[in-house]
Amino acid sequence: MFEAAVNMQDLIEARVVEAGDDCNQYAFDRLGRGLRLAGVYHPATPAPAEQAVIPETAPAGEAELPVLVLARQAIPPGCLVHVRPLGLVRFQHPNWEDTVVVAVPGLDPGQSDLVTCDDIPDERRAALLAFARANAGATDGCVVVWENAKRARALIYERRRSARLAEAQGRKVGPASPVWKPLGYRVAGARRAAEAEPHSDAEYAYRRLPPRFQQYVESYLAPTERILFAVMRPAMRSRVSGSRLFREQLQGGILFLTDQQVALVSEVLPPDRTGINYGYLVQAGVPERASAAAVVDLAGNAGLWIAWAGRDGEQRVVWEFPAAAREDLDQAVSILQGWLPIQGDVRLRRAYGAEPEGTDWETTTIDAESRLPIAKRLTEVLDELLQPGERVLARAMLPAWTDDRKETRGLAVTSRRALLIGDPIHGRKQPIGCYLLSQVTSLEYQAYLFESWLALNLCFGGKVQRIVFKHPYMEPGVQKCVLALRQQLTIVPRA
């Protein structure tokens, strides 16, 4: 097999930001247990290569290192691709310099004969150079220098090293690491040795999680969060979901009780033989919104039953676990009951919510030149919608390809509401959606290569309504919105 002959350590991970041609977009259908065609993406301008960037190569606020991927078939935006560098092309001007890496998909056996940029057919190489020159704004006076794959890898290494150093220097003014993450590499999960080690057993046990789950946890938990308790769930067949012949397959996951939320983090799909982590799904609620909790029997399995309360009713959820987890779930419920409301309650409650996380409309899939005018228009609309005393906590730009109408939209989280607004260039001056945080019962967040979304569960007249916002994979602006939502839900009163 070609995949077996490829050394995965020789490949570089890139994220596609613009397809070179029309391409299909797929979503995972849980009921059908397979991929479903979700739409066809049409790039604004066809190109001889896929436009991508190499993550973690942006030191000191610079843009991520660009890479042109010579794919035989167009790759949808947001897709992560392991690429094999062929070299790089450098444009040298007396006043500036621009560089772009040239690569091919590492797992495509049809292009295994391409080893250097010299191996690219002349016609395609000329088209690639013309496209790269136009993107860089290089004039005829620029000197064009082609360099080999070794130099491309060295540049990637240098950029990643500079980015890590810049990040480390930036952390000196703040906490050195998330407070939930124990220092060092103690993995036993035993009782802490002394009061000088103020970490829970669950936080020590984090080190025992499979590496992919550690990645999921690190990308989702807030740095200030503390893990109080955790319960692992293996991949298993449900005993209550699906038909008698085809029970739903529940992927592996972990239940977290923290001082800020109750969350079930589960895999969307298990990793394949290449080791690719497709992504994760989080179902979460804040303990201040829990009105009841219990462990229930599910045809022999154990279930954690929670009622999440909003202003206009309750949402009841059940998370299924194997029977062997019943004792652990009982402990989880006993912890959760400390938050449940009681008659004449005079206990202290959390008095602080989310802090503003910047004021920019963030997105990684729209270049800065195109994003700025859209951001200006969205800001003008948002400013008109804000009520007296209402603060903007986080915002994200949702690119047009995530919308059925192919319109760019903005998602804003304020101290009172979640607002979905449209670009006024399309005639939209009123919000597409306005959702009171007092009505939100729980959140769902999926970070998945083929389909990523944020969902709000709201109660209207006793019925639960689910509002979904599609977004690019691991979009940082949306991640900030998720954090702001769940932190602000702790202080927004339901009444």
pLDDT in tens, 423-439: 988 777 678 899 999 99
Mean pLDDT of all residues in the chain? 85
- Give ranges for CATH 3.90.80.10 in the chain: 2-168
pLDDT in tens, 33-48: 678 888 888 887 888 9
Band of residue 187 on the pLDDT scale cut at 50, 70, 90: very low
pLDDT in tens, 383-409: 999 999 999 999 999 998 888 888 999
Cα–Cα distance, 315 to 154 (Å, whole number):
53
Would you say residue 329 has pLDDT above 60? yes
Q: When comparing pLDDT for 264 and 60, which is higher? A: 264
Cα–Cα distance, 477 to 396 (Å, whole number):
5
Would you say residue 274 has pLDDT above 70? no
Band of residue 345 on the pLDDT scale cut at 50, 70, 90: confident
**Mean pLDDT, range 264-273, rounded to an integer:** 81
Residues 6 or more apart in contact with residue 481 via CB below 8 angstroms: 394, 395, 396, 411, 412, 413, 418, 454
Q: Residue 444: beta bridge partners? A: 283, 455
pLDDT in tens, 189-244: 434 343 345 678 888 788 778 888 888 888 889 888 999 999 999 999 998 887 66
CATH topology of domain 368-488: PH-domain like (2.30.29)
Cα–Cα distance, 429 to 427 (Å, whole number):
6
CATH topology of domain 178-336: PH-domain like (2.30.29)
- Give ranges for CATH 2.30.29.200 in the chain: 368-488
Which CATH superfamily groups domain 2-168?
Inorganic pyrophosphatase (3.90.80.10)
Band of residue 185 on the pLDDT scale cut at 50, 70, 90: very low
Measured in degrees and rounded to the nearest 5, phi and psi for residue 27 equal -130, 150
